[in-house]
Amino acid sequence: METANATRIQTSILNGVEKRALVWLAQRQPHWVTSDLLTYIGVFGAFLCGLGFALSSIDIHFLWLSSAGLVINWYGDSLDGTLARVRKTQRPKYGFFIDHTIDAITITMMCVGAGLSPLLRLDVALLVLVAYLILSVYTYVCTIVTSQMRLTYGKLGPTEFRLIVIVTNTLFIYTPWHQLSYTIGGAAFSLFDLIALAIVSILAILWLTQWLKDRRTLSRLDPLRKHISQRVEHPNKNKQLRRQA
């Protein structure tokens, strides 16, 4: 199975620092902490993030709960695989299955929560969800086809996006920027809606750039072959034709 030997591609800004921090944390985990437990801690963090978003429509300061949920989600989601590698208890097929099926659930909880908050319009939040899922599907397909698992696009990865959301939450609480509104095509968009749409546009450009690059590479590796059909005549038919002649 290609996922077992897939090369992990990480080019994000914080990759070097994050790797050292994760290894340090993994080496200090109690023996009863397992990769599965960390995965479920990550899910709990995503739930808190979505809940904090939704409750911020009642009190804006619940965005701090959302930010705390993102930190917990990073801890569980990023550390589960590192713990397995440090302890040499990798289960590539099982880990690939668990991580990436659960990822779809966690990102859905966070984006729907954001759409129920005053931070983003629901349609904008769902557009962010669609962009993330498209990149996720592309990543999984490339893992199988090319044996390369791309965890980052450009210099941005999940950790950088979590930090962007935490900074955005903080700005929304303590600045008057959330009061800014812009009308486009008869619909009102906040400054943060426009920032989210800009992020979606960046993700779309990154996807298209990588898709064109991978398409050229795979086209060379798997060229079009012309199959020439050869007619095979039945020997009894040839004999019959000769007798008639």
d(CA 153, CA 210): 8
Among residues 1, 34, 27, 155, which one has the least CA distance to residue 86? 27
The pLDDT value recorded for residue 166 is 95
Among residues 127, 78, 129, which one has the least CA distance to residue 108? 129
Mean pLDDT of 112-134: 94
Question: With bands split at pLDDT 50, 70 and 90, how would you rate the model's confidence at 177?
Answer: confident
pLDDT tens-digit readout, 133-173: 998 898 888 888 888 787 777 677 888 889 999 999 999 99
pLDDT tens-digit readout, 47-80: 999 999 999 999 999 999 999 999 999 999 999 9
Give CATH for domain 2-224.
1.20.120.1760
Among residues 134, 108, 130, which one has the least CA distance to residue 53? 108
**Quick count: other Cβ atoms within 10 Å of Cβ 240?**
11
d(CA 20, CA 76): 16
Q: Answer yes or no: pTM beyond 0.85.
A: no
Which phi and psi angles does 188 have, rounded to 5°?
Answer: -90, 130
Mean pLDDT of 209-229: 80
Q: Can you count the helices (H) and strands (E) in the chain?
A: 8, 4
d(CA 234, CA 98): 56
Domain ranges across the chain: 2-224
Question: With bands split at pLDDT 50, 70 and 90, how would you rate the model's confidence at 242?
Answer: low
**Quick count: other Cβ atoms within 10 Å of Cβ 65?**
20
Q: Strands, E, within the chain: which ranges? A: 7-9, 148-150, 181-184, 187-190
Q: Could you tell me the two tokens for 143?
A: 């893992």
User: Please, what is the Cα angle at 78 between 72 and 82, to 5 degrees?
Assistant: 130
The pLDDT value recorded for residue 35 is 93
